[in-house]
A and B are shown apart, each in its own frame.
Chain A
């Protein structure tokens, strides 16, 4: 296991690992929008003055329900592949957390409806209620993030399973959970900034001018996010112990760790450019997006390497090999491409036809 991820594993294992990581990346993008977006919306609602319009808050209110739907849809694919990679561990963690785990579902349903409630005239007209509604939604999403974090850490720790079962506790106590969740939440800010930047840019180009300060606000959000998430990552690294730290920069993870660090620098440069730009914002957003891609991909791989090295991964190879025997992957690939084309076509139809008509 000295080769860079995903090399150095048997073919089927490498294949499922790569598929898992790529699908998880798309979940992370949308999940970040939801997590950070709801938080930013709340802050803007608390700080906003009545009667003034707020382009960022309007945008978030408008798009958060869709982003949540996308986060859930994108979450289903890694949910499938994790069951092939770490079946027993994943199931066991689910079972041990029991009702606590299942609570994610009502929490997400409530969070979803609260996001829709934000759009109603009734809530819009009542500033205090608005804050309460957003607080409720944020609580639901933080709870969901906490649960995934807890599940991930518990699944990795086989030694904790039997004692936790005997204790009847549905809460896994581990000092890494809260800092890790904080890291996820703060790390979501730069992703949100990039996505918001694109949305505003598109709006600007479609003939609804967005002022420079709004773009600067987004750039500050991204830069601030990089700084606080970086500080949190450093703190978290202190907490996880020497072995995990060594694996994070060990041969399997090193190229990805470096990619993530380079990504942070590129993303930061993109945000600085966006902050200063009077025009050509698309270029700076493109740079920030490229950086973001490497940050998310790099950190997702490092995260996986830490799990691979924490469990008896070699023992799982035969399971991956057996799963790889079943047919259907070409079917998947074919329909993936066809449906991606159709989805793009649908989006194009909606955007071009609707705008032409409105204009």
Chain B
């Protein structure tokens, strides 16, 4: 019987450095092998990151939109904002058309994409948090019901009923964020869950609150920016009405002033190594961080000085530009969130390439692809068994973050290294770059991977020799032993020790 490691004990003994997700059964390693798809020149992380940004932007629009409309409805009830109702009805239609349709489906899309990129990670998340997820679903369903009731009947309802439906919609939408935020932030900072396996310790983890506040304010900002576009483009509103609505909408941008503080809180709650990638350690991640922070800053400055303090009118072009900046800010933030977890998808539990720390130890002995039931596609294209083995190792251990010749391609990264350099750097992978996991195979597999990279770098020649020098394999073994199987940075438990 093979056990899916992603579903194995979620509790661990106090003080054990790594969660033991695997019981090794008699037949194989206990590792669930999945068919690996090739995304061509695109990195898998880019695919999920790309869809994630889109989804997060729309989901935040849905939440912030609820806050904005509830606020407007309340103002309208108090007689403080006469054109509010006309605007709200139009704005809500836009929200339903964009967010209920594309937002909801990109949400399902996130799930499907997560399965495509790392089935084991999503499996672990589902196992750990399925009741939280199911709870989130009850809020999502409530959001849809309240939203549709308002959409269909809002224009025939009295003020109190409208406010009730909008309020219900908003609360439900925000609670969806609340639950999902706990699961996503757990991936980066599982906190005390690592030691106790306690669900709530994992849910209310160190980055939970900064991330929740940050996302809430981002949602309000996005909704305000979209509102600015709708208001300025609305032909049925007089200029004075537009100004009044714009000023009120801009009030939702005010909490952006707190974002730098929240950002700092989030950064300091992150593990030190993750923080170091963001703050210069990894050029790509630092760049995304810069884009996110820069775009937020620009939007925030314009909002506070232009819209709130000087009460400037904003035309559709400027509003559109601000939305683009808002999107860039979300994009930067999401890439940082996805990237900062490296080398893990769930900190200290599951590596980016879907192996547990404990499995790496076993695979060093038994090989990582020995039990992989999926054959190579186009196996005949490879010149010999060694390169075929290397291709399988690449597929299993590297392909989640690298391509061969495309984005973050191994040929670009390692194609010019000498054979010895490649052997050393792969054997000590987690020290070559600490955002990579330790190599998880035998010396033979490592040598095969090196030959695979060389073969690809040499433009896939027909004839390619096999290397099997025992001295080289012994050297690889020594390097692997020196590198150990712990991650390249110091874990919290190691530091304590």
Chain A positions within 8 Å of B, measured between CB atoms, are: 66, 69-70, 72-77, 79-81, 83-84, 87-88, 91-92, 94-96, 98, 101-102, 104-105, 108-109, 112-113, 116, 161-162, 165-166, 168, 315, 318-319, 322-323, 325-329, 331-332, 335-336, 339-340, 342-343, 346-347, 349-351, 353-354, 357-358
Contacts and interface: CB of A to CB of B under 8 A. Distances in A.
B165 A80 contact: no
Given A162-B374, A328-B199, A95 B116 contact: yes
**8 A-B pairs with least C-beta separation:** A328-B131, A350-B149, A354-B153, A91-B119, A354-B156, A350-B153, A319-B7, A343-B145
Nearest to A90: B115
Contact of B141 (A91, A96, A339): A339
A76 B34 contact: no
A326 B8 CA distance: 11
A72 B106 CA distance: 11
B157 interface: yes
Given A326-B128, A329-B131, A109 B156 contact: no
With most chain A CB atoms within 10 A of its CB, the pick from B112, B153, B377 is B153
Contacts of A326: 10, 127-131, 199
Contact of B158 (A73, A166, A353): A353
12 contacts: A69-B101, A95-B116, A102-B113, A105-B108, A322-B10, A328-B135, A329-B131, A339-B138, A339-B142, A343-B146, A346-B168, A349-B165
A83 B148 contact: no
Interface residues of B, number: 70
A156 B484 CA distance: 40
A357 B156 contact: yes
Contacts of B158: 353, 357
A73 B135 contact: no
B108 A76 contact: yes
Given A69-B100, A73-B140, A358 B3 contact: no
A315 B153 CA distance: 51
Nearest to A75: B108
B112 A332 contact: no
B15 interface: no
Nearest to B373: A162
Contact of B3 (A112, A318, A342, A349): A318
Contacts of B141: 73-74, 339, 343
Nearest to A95: B35
A243 to B, nearest CB: 23
B20 interface: no
A30 B101 CA distance: 16
B348 to A, nearest CB: 18
A135 B200 CA distance: 49
Chain A binding surface, main DSSP class: helix
B406 interface: no
A109 B153 CA distance: 24
Given A95-B35, A101-B112, A332-B134, A343 B126 contact: no
B97 interface: yes
A80 B137 contact: yes
B271 interface: no
Interface of B: 1-4, 6-11, 32, 34-37, 97, 100-102, 104-106, 108-109, 111-113, 115-116, 119, 122-123, 126-135, 137-142, 144-146, 148-150, 152-153, 156-158, 161, 164-165, 168, 172, 199-200, 373-375, 377
A221 to B, nearest CB: 25
A353 B157 contact: yes
Contacts of A79: 108, 111
Given A95-B35, A323-B130, 6 more contacts: A105-B112, A165-B375, A315-B1, A322-B9, A325-B11, A326-B10
B35 A96 contact: yes
B161 A335 contact: no
Nearest to B202: A326
Given A350-B153, A353-B161, A69 B131 contact: no
Given A105-B106, A323-B127, A353-B157, A166 B375 contact: yes
Contact of B115 (A76, A94, A340, A354): A94
Contact of A98 (B116, B130, B132): B116
Contact of B148 (A66, A105, A161): A66
B34 A69 contact: no
B104 A72 contact: yes
Nearest to B32: A88
B135 A335 contact: yes
A108 B101 CA distance: 9
B131 A349 contact: no
Contacts of A88: 4, 32, 34
Nearest to A98: B37
Contacts of B156: 354, 357-358
Contacts of A358: 156
Nearest to A325: B10
Contact of A73 (B104, B113, B146): B104
Contacts of B200: 327
A76 B141 CA distance: 10
A339 B179 CA distance: 15
A328 B129 contact: yes
